Structure 1
Amino acid sequence: MRHLLFVSLLLVCGLVRAAELPETDWLELMPKSDQKALEAMPEIDHNSPEGQGTFDSKGGLKQSKGLPAVMYSTKTVASMNDKIIRLGGYPVPLETDAKGHSTLFFLVPYPGACIHVPPPPPNQLVLVRYPKGLKISDIYTPLWVIGTLKVEKVNNDLADAAYALDASKVRVVVEADL
């Protein structure tokens, strides 16, 4: 009987560990008014003046002037502050440790954001702090990031973000996740 209880406890612990938080959708980070404005926005042609983001003197890509206001939005969703979430996205490395592991990076909703123009609005960029670090060999590799989300304005030479996340776990998305 004692053995059966121990095995049951191990199975339950394993299931709890295997089950992750439900995925947070990127749109949950935008107020409804921004979602509507984004949906109503005309498609941006990357060859148009609106699509020609401006590189600043330090080499970062910033939003060019003249885009619809939603593309500069730092409006956040207050109920997301201090919430533990699981967010999927793509890394834009900012800092690495001595082993070459990324400890600070932006998480963006689609591959190549901040490289292609225009970059996502600040409320669709999340600064991730991950002291353990993760080896990022390809910015097109999707990640799951779990941690506590903070409403926090971040100004960086590369981009601006309206949120920061103190990550407790970061891992590469694998085929079994899909």
Structure 2
Amino acid sequence: MRRVLLVSLLLISSLAHAELPETDWLELMPKSDQKALELMPEIDHSSPEAMGTFTEKGGMKQSKGLPAVMYSTKTVPAMNGKQIRLGGYPVPLESDAKGNSTLFFLVPYPGACIHVPPPPPNQLVLVRYPRGVKLDDIYTPLWVSGTLKIEKVSNDLADAAYALDAGKVKAVEEGDL
């Protein structure tokens, strides 16, 4: 009996420390938006509609003229309240007194929101991480785990259709790939 209890406790402990499976960015986008993205022509970053506009505070917003899917805030209801692990790149927004990022966008590819146009709002996740994470390089991919919420967020840099209360943030390591 004691041995069964010990094995059970070890199993529970290992499950508690197991990583959540990776969530694919496309899981955050309704099928209709996925189809529209597949059919969208390649964006030429030198074209007028790709240039975006700077806001008064210096952020870059999309200018009108791109296909509607690039502005989509359509979400997947089944993702609301779900525990996920999402890989992506940080776009810092706020930091604590030690310089650790406590609020940032997570985006699916490096340089998003720096180049234009930013990803559609349903491909941007606002991450709240009160513990903070040191971000030395925005081109270092992160794993972010926590509870995803459908929440429309707008700031001077971009708009997001989701927010995530992170319980864990860590850099992606070679062995993760």
Partner letter of residue 40 of structure 2? M
Q: Give the deviation of 1:31 after TM superposition.
A: 0.7
RMSD: 1.6
Q: String of CA shifts for 1:48-73, please: whole Å, max 9, x gaps.
A: 11221211111111111100000010
Q: String of CA shifts for 1:107-163, please: whole Å, max 9, x gaps.
A: 000000000111101010000000010001100010111111110000111111000
Once residues 21 and 140 of structure 1 are traced to their aligned partners in structure 2, the CA distance between those partners, rounded to angstroms, is 23
Aligned residues: 177
Q: What TM-score do the two structures reach when normalised by structure 1? A: 0.93
Query: What pairs with 1:23-172 in structure 2 (closer than 5 Å)?
Result: 23-172=22-171
Q: Structure 2 unaligned segments of length 5 or more: list them.
A: none
3-state DSSP class of the match of 2:41?
A: coil
Q: Give the deviation of 1:170 after TM superposition.
A: 0.7
1:14/1:177 Cα in 2 relative to 1: closer, same or farther (>3 Å)?
farther
- Say whether the 8 Å CA contact 2:50–2:62 is kept in structure 1: no
- Return 8-17 or 114-123, whichever deviates more: 8-17
Deviating runs (4+, > 2 A) in structure 1? Answer: 4-15
Q: Give the deviation of 1:12 after TM superposition.
A: 2.5
3-state DSSP class of the match of 1:114?
A: coil
Residue identity (%): 79
